[in-house]
A and B are shown apart, each in its own frame.
Chain A
Amino acid sequence: MNRSMCGDHSLLQALAEGTLSDADLQSVKSHVADCPSCRVAVTEYKQVMWDLAHPLDVELPAELEHSYRLLMREWHNEQKEHQSHALRKSISGSFVPTWANYSVSWTRHLPVNTLSSLVRRTGSTLIGRSLPRWLRRKGGEHH
């Protein structure tokens, strides 16, 4: 057994993910079959990946859901309007969820559905912070 690969988590993750190169596949598989700790690690990585691929549906309260849709629509419209001359300024404006402000350059490449999915997926803990903050910033506009 190749001891040097034991506990190499980049290989174990790749095996779990199915992205291991053909050159490594057989040797890693046969090591994992004989190594309880690596086998546990691969199983756990598979579990993490499976869970991530099957997210729980996060049900937002109706009021927040409505506000969220407004947020995405307004931001998307704003983005289109400013596309040619002030894209970056528009993106860093107040319509972007807080977490996206950390790095804005990537967001312009994303279809709005993907962005929306990202916000929903990553927002389970952030949504409670960023959405109310956004609503406060928007204060009054929807009332």
Chain B
Amino acid sequence: MEELESRESGPTPETAAELAWDREILDHALGELPTLHRMVVVLRHEEDLTYEQIADVTDLPLGTVKTYLFRARQKLRESLRNEVGS
């Protein structure tokens, strides 16, 4: 778990370029997501809204918000893996 903990303090200078590349990949992958999936991801991870707040502002059921987030994050992770592995 130590490597996980270290991620929480942010990137080291050595990984900054790699992270910038990751973010470009993610930006592209975000653009490929269905609109509502992209929206809940942005509201959750950039705007830092809770699941309940997202359900509130989007008029989506809470379960739907969770499902969209789950699928979107799986897709984003796959995009990152595919790009890194290619």
- B19 touches A (CB below 8 Å): yes
- Interface-located stretch among A64-72, A78-86, A105-113: A105-113
A-B contacts, CB under 8 A, total: 104
Shortest distance between the CB of B44 and any CB in chain A (Å):
8
In the bound complex, CA of A63 to CA of B58 (Å): 31
B9-44 CB contact bits vs A (8 Å, 1 = yes)? 010000000011011101110111001101101110
Q: Which residue of A lies closest to B20 (CB)?
A: A56
Residues of A with C-beta under 8 A to B19: 51, 54
Q: Which residue of A lies closest to B75 (CB)?
A: A48
Residues of A within 8 A of B (CB): 9-10, 13, 29, 32-33, 39, 41-56, 99, 102-103, 105-106, 109-110, 114, 117-118, 121-122, 124-126
Range, interface on chain B: 35 or more
Would you call A114 and B30 a contact (CB within 8 A)? Answer: no
Q: Is chain A's binding surface mostly helix, strand, loop or mixed?
A: helix
The verdict on A51 contacting B42 (CB below 8 Å), with A9-B70, A13-B73 known, is: no
In the bound complex, CA of A75 to CA of B4 (Å): 43
One of B7, B36, B46, B59 near A121 (C-beta < 8 A):
B46
15 residue pairs from A and B, CB less than 8 Å apart: A43-B4, A48-B26, A49-B73, A51-B22, A54-B23, A102-B36, A103-B35, A105-B58, A109-B58, A109-B59, A121-B42, A122-B31, A122-B38, A124-B27, A124-B31
